[in-house]
Chain A
Amino acid sequence: QKEVEQDPGPLSVPEGAIVSLNCTYSNSAFQYFMWYRQYSRKGPELLMYTYSSGNKEDGRFTAQVDKSSKYISLFIRDSQPSDSATYLCAMSAAAGGTSYGKLTFGQGTILTVHP
């Protein structure tokens, strides 16, 4: 079983829809949770970062972390065609943990927002 599981999709939604992307994980040492966005033929770029449990909002994007359930989510409101990309969740442990300084990625979800 992978440490981080992410539904690869693909996910296709109409413009304006609310998108929910999710990851589950098994390593309780993970403390840092990130979402990366990767456009076609580009490298991943950091979209959202959250430390420990809780929510974080940035414009149309909201990241949620539920450490008790080992579950993280990314919500995209009012989705736009420019949001079409692959979204990767990533996690790392706190200092002192064996995973510190290394990211463990989910498989990535391919999202298409059509006009």
Chain B
Amino acid sequence: DADVTQTPRNRITKTGKRIMLECSQTKGHDRMYWYRQDPGLGLRLIYYSFDVKDINKGEISDGYSVSRQAQAKFSLSLESAIPNQTALYFCATSVAGQGEGETQYFGPGTRLLVL
């Protein structure tokens, strides 16, 4: 079984719609992250959470919001989707103090297309 799961894996939506991407993990990690990946731009951090009560903006948080429902669940919402939010979205987890510089473990990704 996958340690970090993302749902849905693929999603097509229309401009203006609200959508939610979900991430669950069974690794027991306290830290969770949301990234988007665009061709030629690498991975860019949207939001991150170091524990259930801690939510922080990343470098590209505008147009997105998150919810940390439990240690194992971290959801990303697009309140009103726009075409330039078309991208591949990844959830990742890590554990503090593991001695390897916060190595992150990634889910399989959600491919989002906004028409």
Contact = CB atoms under 8 A, between A and B. Distances in A.
Which of the four size classes fits the interface of chain B? 20 to 34
Interface in B91-115: 92, 94, 96, 100-109
Nearest to A45: B106
B31 interface: yes
Given A101-B94, A101-B96, A107-B40, A34 B109 contact: no
B101 A31 contact: yes
Given A106-B42, A107-B40, A32 B106 contact: no
Contacts of A42: 108-109
B38 to A, nearest CB: 10
Contact of A43 (B44, B58, B90, B94): B90
Contact of B48 (A32, A43, A101): A101
State the majority secondary structure of interface residues on A.
Answer: strand
B101 A49 contact: yes
Interface of B: 4, 31, 33, 40-45, 48, 50, 58, 90, 92, 94, 96, 100-109
